[in-house]
Amino acid sequence: MNDDDPGVHPLASALDQEGFGEAGAAQITESFARHLMLTLDGWRVDGFDGVARDYLTRMPRERQTVQRIDDCGDVLTRRIGTDTIERGDLVQALATPSWLDPAHGGPRL
C-alpha cells in the first residue's frame, strides 16, 4: 500500500479517485479559471461594487433586510425601518473554515 492508494487518507479525496479522470479534472480546473478571470476582469473594469453585488445575489437573506459588503469585505446587514447594522466580520469568518470538522481534522461529513 502506498500514499496513492484509495483509503490511505480517508478524509481527503482526489478528482481521479472520485471518477473524474484526467479529462474531468482538466475541465473543472478550466471552468474555475474562467470564472475567476471573469470576476477579476469585472473587478478591474467596474470596481469591487459589481463583484460585491453579484456575490450578494447568491447569499441567503432574510426578508426586510438590506445587505452590502464594505471595503474590508465585511457583510453589513440592516433591517428595513431601523438604523441598527449587523456586521459579519470577514477575517473572523475565514479564521475557521466552515467545512472543517475540528473533531476529526478533516471535512465535515
| Confidence check: pLDDT of 13 > 70 | no
pTM score of the predicted model: 0.65
Pairing label, strands 75-79, 65-69: antiparallel
pLDDT tens-place string over residues 29-67:
899 999 999 999 999 999 999 999 999 999 998 899 999
The domain limits of the chain are: 63-102
pLDDT at 75: 96
CA distances from 18 to 22, 34, 74, 93, 105 (A): 11, 23, 35, 29, 21
